[in-house]
Structure 1
């Protein structure tokens, strides 16, 4: 019997992805993607490496990724049959590009999700130190799977509230920092809160140009997931209005959530006093006389990790659905539930999360594994962002009439595409300079070799099927 609450198609017609995400959902999904766990936990290390110049690092990365998002927005709106960026990459660059894009993006989020699930287990230990690590990981994946199986709107609601928690925490930090600066707060060790702390100790670039460049290596991880709005395109109500709104607000979000937060931290705590392996958010609230800060920030970071894992579960299932439609993944992933959710893809991705979590749990040096995982993830995400830009170049060359008719043109056009691609190449060079991040660059080519071998097998299988169909017709 057909469920009329979720299924509005004629009887016998297969289900399709439904446009159930409103502007409220899309805006907060985009915000959640732009605010990574790296801001809460990784900003201490970036400040110790780059000093106050880290503010410029985040602004530059945010500026570049804004153009990637604008290119993605113009492409998605040029043809509303595109369900995500996997579709336009396959259409504009060829089926092999779509295959590599889809599976790489799936792997990006599986790798990121594994790290998030393990992180959630670690954060849970703060309150429940005697609970075995595998239990919170299992509970988190089971909860995300069950909620995402209900409807796509449930994913939107989860991301809305996860993002709200992050926004409230950052706004609280900025307001607390502003109050401490205005009142010239004196810390227990004699430091006075002042904007002068940004430049009074060695200037804005205390470690020189190399220190400034070192900040890029870690800061880029914080922006992983900024393209999430592109995976929701097929399930967005009124995409012509809601996608541009979400993308256009990115510069404001970068300033509000990254730049203002870092200014507040550096104004209250001189950069030399920021501890690399501690969250500067916790330290600022502790200075403000809020001893519960550690528990509060632990909760915020836990929800931030849960938000990232939730995004991963959502996006990987949609990637598998798109790949299956093209014949690049097993046909079972084409199945949609009565509620128009790719349930088989969701279940498979969650099983992969748990299997990967088990592998990482068995690695003796957990932090070393995390560094490797996050670097692999960020490198592969840069591949995805680069493919979006290359798709845009092909679109401008082969679909010039669509560009002329577009009401949402990418500013800077082809010039900014090449600027962004050069920037990503520069980041890869920086990753190769450090021992811990260089190891990940050795792993990434192996993934592409594996994909290439699998693609050859898929092409041969498609050719055999086509040959059988021809013989049957004869």
Structure 2
């Protein structure tokens, strides 16, 4: 039986904190850090700090918007309100398809990660099992989703804390490894910037994508029990998480052995744990990466279901909720589309699928820029003058403009880099097509 009620508010502060934390930690750190270190050297720490500060600025803008009207089901509703229905249409469906494609990539990865332990079993079997389990949890109860994300995030956190603690212990006791004695000077003894800084801009792009999905807390916000208290606390803690988990882990990695020793094609976590004599290192990190991929897939099902719910006309079956106050129809449609990854993996080569995934990532930059512009428009509106101003973004609108410039720089790096030029042009084409559709759809607006 379908209902026309508001979304359930059963997520607790514990759930939201872990969801926000999990959103800032993903395969970009566990897998991509090796490539980042190779491109920037120890300077990658500064790159992550700068990128993290701008991501934090975006989240503060999002937090202020959410608390100005916490009945909004997604932050796309604010874009629609302050930038118009056409912008809301374009950004809404872009955000939806972006998460669908990311979910397809994560589902594909899950099958491959499971084959690490069971190489003779088909990948599609594991993909079906994981998708089925996560779909079931998403349509039964919001709290079930929250609990799942809580434990997924906890696994990632334990792995990072273990890395940081190991690094501290090895420095304090000057532990000797095949790379030499562990000491702080290892961090800078081989130089502070790789390749004289020639690849430093590319490192900014990679750091930015490592934070992709941090805005997910905005989607979950509509279903928290006490948004006025929970959202500010969760968003303000993001900056500390960036410093502790990203910066702390990277420093530990580059102190245990020289940054020049790391391979761009292998997880630095695996390389470190192997070097210090943990034979099961590859298996442990494979398990952590598996949970990171499952977490991203879980978040994608949650997000895409809410996006369809908010974008659909009120008379549509996708604008209805089930008896648990969950947009089941939207989640079902999204899950069905994600499941096509199982078929696509047989038809298309790996490079083609990676191309589409990169295109989805490029579109998120435009969405983040639209979010910052939306916040500027909100500050200029009567709604801001009449609001309680619970959670004001500092230094607005100047910080908005700086953040927009930073994101335009990232987009420019993508556009003029030979490795990502095609994917960025595809993203631009996607926006042009949606813009044309929106003009036809809202021609009287």
Q: TM class by shorter-chain length?
A: over 0.9
- Provide the residue aligned with 1:431 in structure 2: 414
Q: Give how far 1:45 is off.
A: 0.5
Contact 1:396 1:403 in 2 (8 A): no
The match for 1:149 among 118, 135, 139 is 139
- Provide the residue aligned with 1:6 in structure 2: none
Runs of 4+ residues deviating >4 angstroms: none
Q: Give how far 1:224 is off.
A: 0.9
Which secondary structure state, in structure 2, belongs to the residue aligned with residue 276 of structure 1?
A: coil
The match for 2:200 among 195, 212, 221 is 212
1:345-385 Cα deviation digits (max 9, x unpaired): 11111111121343244322x2x345424422321111111
Contact 1:33 1:223 in 2 (8 A): yes
1:141-187 Cα deviation digits (max 9, x unpaired): 11111111101111111110000000001001111111111221222
Q: Give how far 1:233 is off.
A: 2.1
The match for 1:376 among 359, 373, 379 is 359
Q: Give how far 1:326 is off.
A: 6.3
- Provide the residue aligned with 1:317 in structure 2: 305
Query: After alignment, is 354-363 or 240-249 more displaced?
Result: 354-363
Q: Give how far 1:403 is off.
A: 7.2
Name the CA shift for 1:401/1:16 in 2 (closer, same or farther; >3 Å): closer
Which secondary structure state, in structure 2, belongs to the residue aligned with residue 435 of structure 1?
A: coil
Contact 1:43 1:280 in 2 (8 A): yes
Q: Give how far 1:208 is off.
A: 2.5
- Provide the residue aligned with 1:340 in structure 2: 325
- Provide the residue aligned with 2:398 in structure 1: 415
Query: After alignment, is 333-342 or 428-437 more displaced?
Result: 428-437
Mapping of residues 11-410 of structure 1, within 5 Å: 14-188=4-178, 190-202=179-191, 204-325=192-313, 331-364=316-349, 366=350, 368-369=351-352, 371-399=354-382, 401-402=384-385, 405-410=388-393
Mapping of residues 441-460 of structure 1, within 5 Å: 441-459=424-442
Larger Rg: 1
Which secondary structure state, in structure 2, belongs to the residue aligned with residue 207 of structure 1?
A: helix
Q: Give how far 1:294 is off.
A: 0.8
TM-score by length of 2: 0.96
* Whole-angstrom distance in 2 between the partners of 1:303 and 1:324: 32
TM-score by length of 1: 0.90
Q: Give how far 1:128 is off.
A: 0.7
Name the CA shift for 1:440/1:326 in 2 (closer, same or farther; >3 Å): farther
Contact 2:3 2:321 in 1 (8 A): no
Which secondary structure state, in structure 2, belongs to the residue aligned with residue 224 of structure 1?
A: coil
Which secondary structure state, in structure 2, belongs to the residue aligned with residue 184 of structure 1?
A: coil
Contact 1:333 1:342 in 2 (8 A): yes
* Whole-angstrom distance in 2 between the partners of 1:217 and 1:403: 39
Q: Give how far 1:80 is off.
A: 2.5
Q: Give how far 1:400 is off.
A: 6.4
Q: Give how far 1:401 is off.
A: 4.2
Q: Aligned-pair RMSD on alpha carbons?
A: 1.9
In the comparison of the two structures, how many residue pairs are matched?
Answer: 445
Unaligned runs of 5+ in 1: 3-11, 464-474
Contact 1:403 1:409 in 2 (8 A): no
Unaligned runs of 5+ in 2: none
Q: Give how far 1:217 is off.
A: 2.3
Contact 1:55 1:259 in 2 (8 A): yes
